[in-house]
Amino acid sequence: MMVHAGYLFGQNAGAVLPSGENISPQGLTYGLGGSMRVHLMKHLRIGCEGFSSTMKSGATDKNGILQSGSYVRTGWGGILADACWRLDKVWPYIGGSVGGGAMRSLYIVEGSEDDWTAEQTAVFHKQGFGYVNPYVGIDYCITKRIHATFRLDWMLAFAQKQLVLPTGPRLYIGILFCH
């Protein structure tokens, strides 16, 4: 299980308000997820991963256009492979993952999430994407069966129809249960 925080870069050229303003939220993301790996050889591990991350865009909107309740939520998962060196209690690793996911964006421009009144101006969009995700990290062996892990990655997302893609760095901190 890993918690993570990151930064979402990107432009949303497709989200233009009736007033002509463009919505391009960028900012801090946070989320939860995990990975599962098996050792194939002395240094090679393969496995899978899955994560979900959210950016509250009302708090990070540079133009102050978006209202409370706006968000950009990303879910992704895929397969991974890495090279790991077992150095007593410290196991540094380098690797990458490939897979796919979906990004959901809700932009509330007028109104609030605090009532049951229909919003006058809101935009919702969902899009799929593929990704390649290089990473580096380090496991610290607390016990033989429990490891603390620290990982840094940079997601490189791609899609046919690009509005906002989840591109940017993330830092993961978590606990791994080993067998």
Residue 115 pLDDT:
73
pLDDT tens profile 19-71: 666 666 678 889 999 999 999 989 999 999 999 999 887 655 556 666 677 88
Compute the distance between CA of residue 2 and CA of residue 19 in angstroms, rounded to an integer.
Answer: 41
- In this structure, the number of other CB atoms found within 10 A of the CB of residue 23 comes to 22
> What is residue 167's DSSP assignment?
B
Q: Give the angle subtended at the CA of 127 by the CAs of 96 and 18, to the nearest 5°.
A: 135
Q: What is the DSSP string of 9-34?
A: B---TT-B-TTSPBP---EEEEEEEE
155-164: average pLDDT: 78
Task: Tell me the DSSP string of 86-118.
Answer: -BTTEEEEEEEEEEEEEEEEEEEEES-TTSSSP
Fold of 2-177: Porin (2.40.160)
Taking all residues of the chain, what is their mean pLDDT, rounded to a whole number?
85
Tokens 């997601």 locate to: 155
**Segment 96-110, tens digit of pLDDT:** 999 999 988 887 777
- Asked if the model's pLDDT at residue 11 lies above 60, the reply is no
For residues 29 and 60, what is the distance between their CA atoms, to the nearest angstrom? 10
Instruction: Say what the pLDDT of residue 91 is.
Output: 95
Higher pLDDT, 78 or 112: 78
What pLDDT, on a 0 to 100 scale, did the predictor assign at position 119? 75
Q: Looking at this protein, which amino acid is placed at residue 107?
A: Y
Collapse the DSSP code of 84 into the 3-class scheme (helix H, G, I; strand E, B; otherwise coil) and give the result. strand
Task: Kindly state the average pLDDT of the residues 70-76.
Answer: 89
Which residue's entry shows tokens 């421009």?
A: 109
13 has a pLDDT exceeding 60 = no
143 with 172: CB under 8 angstroms?
no
Q: Which residue has the tokens 């229909």?
A: 118
Higher pLDDT, 158 or 150: 150
The C-alpha atoms of residue 169 and residue 44 are separated, in whole angstroms, by: 24
